[in-house]
Amino acid sequence: MKKCAILFVAVSCLVAAGRAADTEVSLVETNVLRVRVNRLTENFAAQLRAATPSNDVIGRILDLRAASGDPDAAALAINCFSGNKPPLVILVDSQTDGAAAALAKQLRTARAGVVIGSSDGQVQPDIAVAGRAADEKIFLQNPYATIPTNPASTLSATNELLPYVDHTSEAELVRKRVKDGEDASDATNSPRAEPAQPILRDPVLARAVDLLKALAILHPARD
C-alpha cells in the first residue's frame, strides 16, 4: 500500500506520487521550523530551500528519526546548517542510519546543534528521551496523536460515568435561563470560547520545542 505524507501546518516537498517525500518541512507551534527527513539525498539542499516558508522562526529541528540516506549526502547537507542561523536541535533514534546518522554525528562534533533522542542508536544524544518504538512510529506520522494506554479500561470507566453526565442541550439551557428570568439573547449571543490549540504529544519533538523556546527567551533575536 502506498504511503501518503501527512502535512500539519505548512508546506512539504513531495516526490513520486503517493510516496512519502524525502524531506518534509513544517512549522510547529507557528515559530519552530521542523525539517523531517525520511531519506537524506544529494538533493537535500534544494529540497530544503524550495520547501522552507518565509516565516520568522525561533529555532530549527532536524528530525532524523528512522532516516537513512545516500552515501555522499551528509557532506553536502551539512552546509545547510552552517553560519549565523537560528538554534538547531537534531532528533535521532535507534533507526537513524547511514547518511542521516553521519550528518547527525558531524553536526554534533561541530557543535552546530543539540542532539535529542534515544540512546540505543548509532548517534549518542546530548539529551536522552526514552520511549516505545511503537509509539514513536505513530508520532512520526502525527506528533499530535493520542496514544491509548488501556482502551478497554477507558471504555469501561466512561460507561460507568454515563449516568452522571449532563446531556442537557444548548437549547434546553437557553429555555431554562429564560424561564428563570434571564435574557435569552445573553445566552445565545455570548462569545464562544476559542478552540483549544492541539497538544504536541510526541515527547522527543516536544522536548526539542521546549528547549528552543527557552533559548529564545534567554537569547532573544535582535532586530
Cell 524550495 locates to 50
Kindly state the average pLDDT of the residues 82-111.
Answer: 94
Q: Taking 70 as the threshold, does the pLDDT of residue 119 lie above it?
A: yes
The whole-angstrom separation of Cα 144 and Cα 199 is 6
Label residue 177 exposed, middle or buried (CB < 10 Å: 0-12, 13-18, 19+): middle
- What are the angstrom distances between the C-alpha of 46 and each of 50, 144, 196? 6, 28, 36
Task: Quote the distance between the C-alpha of residue 76 and its chain's center.
Answer: 25
Q: Please indicate whether residue 9 or residue 139 has the higher confidence score (pLDDT).
A: 139
Write the CATH number of the domain with boundaries 12-149+197-218: 3.90.226.10
Look at residues 1, 53, 58 and name the one whose alpha carbon lies nearest to residue 25: 53
pLDDT class of 144 with cuts at 50, 70, 90? very high
Q: Taking 50 as the threshold, does the pLDDT of residue 5 lie above it?
A: no
Computed over every residue of the chain, the mean pLDDT equals 80
Q: Please indicate whether residue 152 or residue 208 has the higher confidence score (pLDDT).
A: 208
- What global pTM score does this model have? 0.73
The whole-angstrom separation of Cα 152 and Cα 163 is 19
Cβ atoms of 129 and 207 closer than 8 Å: yes
Q: Taking 70 as the threshold, does the pLDDT of residue 2 lie above it?
A: no
- SS3 of the chain: helix, strand, coil, percent, to 5: 40, 15, 45
CATH 3.90.226.10 placement within the chain: 12-149+197-218
Residues contacting residue 61 through CB under 8 Å, at least 6 positions apart: 28, 32, 33, 34, 35, 88, 89, 90, 91, 205, 208, 209, 212
The whole-angstrom separation of Cα 171 and Cα 132 is 46
Q: Please indicate whether residue 1 or residue 25 has the higher confidence score (pLDDT).
A: 25
pLDDT class of 6 with cuts at 50, 70, 90? very low
Cβ atoms of 103 and 72 closer than 8 Å: no
Q: Please indicate whether residue 182 or residue 126 has the higher confidence score (pLDDT).
A: 126
Kindly state the average pLDDT of the residues 93-102.
Answer: 96
| pLDDT of res. 54 | 83
Kindly state the average pLDDT of the residues 35-52.
Answer: 93
User: CA-based angle 131:135:136, to the nearest 5?
Assistant: 70
